[in-house]
Amino acid sequence: MNRINKLFQEKKNNILSIYFTAGYPSLNDTVEIIKTLDESNVDLIEIGMPFSDPIADGPIIQYSSNVAIDNGMNLHVLFKQLANIRKITNIPIILMGYVNPVYQFGYDKFINKILDCDLDGMILPDLPFDDYKTQFKPIFVKKNLSFISLITPNTSEDRIIQIDDNSNGFIYMVSSSSITGKKSSFNKSQIQYFKRINNLSLKNPRIIGFGISDKKSYNEACKYSNGAIIGTNFIKSLDKNDLSNSIRDYIRLIR
């Protein structure tokens, strides 16, 4: 059982997952951010791998990605930063990003680095699911890693069930069909979508992301899922000159 499965076995509700972009605000902030999130009792950490064309992300995450790249962040640097991360935290850690940098790095090398750093899984929104099944799933099953798939209000029921059957960890429920950071509350159709997914009785837990920005939207998302993911507003809150305290203050506002 990996850390993600263990988390959801031990805690069924109110999971708080935080996303941040590696290399932002400064190149070497990765470990400090993780350490402070651990001290703030966050449940799950998603580390964004900077990419020049993050199509699913809004302007804030795009900006943080561009700054991180300018700072010198890349996968080689990130894996060096994460080499001893398990001396600092036992929180589940997922890498999130896009296929192109992973392809350039090398699929096998990338997976080996995930294992070397004792990370728990990855999210690649633009990786075709059929490619995951043929290229990644066998090694992910063998090495007990989680591949987290996204579903949206437009994902068909058949596709959702297929994703559920081939997933190990949780399902990332995108709250709307827009980019990250666009909304801060849920409308009637979104709530109907959440209820529809819950009625499918999927085997995997679900976490809602996109549009979670404050305590109110976090609590509302937790009514319809096992937890929520916050990225854009967390990144906006980061104070380069007082990083740890800005993180602690933000998590206190959510919890």
pLDDT in tens, 180-205: 545 556 899 999 999 999 999 999 99
Whether 1 maps to a domain, the answer reads no
Positive or negative, the CA dihedral 42, 210, 19, 117 is positive
pLDDT for residue 227: 98
The predicted model gives 10-36 an average pLDDT of: 97
Tell me how far CA of residue 79 lies from CA of 74, 93, 197, in angstroms. 9, 13, 35
Range of the domain at 91: 15-254
The predicted model gives 214-231 an average pLDDT of: 96
Alpha helices, DSSP H only, in 126-242?
129-131, 137-142, 157-165, 188-198, 215-223, 232-237
Contact 73, 105 (CB under 8 A): no
Positive or negative, the CA dihedral 133, 135, 140, 145 is negative
Annotation marks residue 165 as catalytic: no
Whether 50 maps to a domain, the answer reads yes
Which range is least confidently modeled, 50-54, 170-174, 196-200, 223-227? 50-54
Whether 24 maps to a domain, the answer reads yes
Annotation marks residue 126 as catalytic: no
- Segment 132-172, tens digit of pLDDT: 888 889 999 999 999 999 999 999 999 999 999 998 899 99
Whether 5 maps to a domain, the answer reads no
Choice among 32, 39, 43, 57 that is catalytic: 57
Backbone phi, psi, residue 115, to 5°: -70, -40
Residue 62's Cβ-count burial label (10 Å; 0-12, 13-18, 19+) is buried
Choice among 43, 46, 120, 164 that is catalytic: 46
Q: CA 89 to CA 190: how far, in whole Å?
A: 35
pLDDT for residue 255: 87
Contact 22, 71 (CB under 8 A): no
pLDDT for residue 193: 96
Whether 72 maps to a domain, the answer reads yes
Q: CA 198 to CA 138: how far, in whole Å?
A: 28
Tell me how far CA of residue 135 lies from CA of 92, 160, 185, in angstroms. 23, 20, 37
Whether 10 maps to a domain, the answer reads no
- Residue count (the chain): 255
Q: CA 241 to CA 118: how far, in whole Å?
A: 30
Contact 211, 182 (CB under 8 A): yes
- Tokens 């350490």 belong to residue: 35
* Six token digits for residue 156: 């068909």
Q: CA 116 to CA 57: how far, in whole Å?
A: 28
Name the domain count of the chain: 1
Whether 4 maps to a domain, the answer reads no
Whether 35 maps to a domain, the answer reads yes
Q: CA 138 to CA 59: how far, in whole Å?
A: 36
Report which residue type is found at 15: I
pLDDT for residue 181: 47
Structure confidence at residue 26 as a pLDDT band (50, 70, 90):
very high
The domain that holds 187 is classified in CATH as 3.20.20.70
pLDDT for residue 159: 94
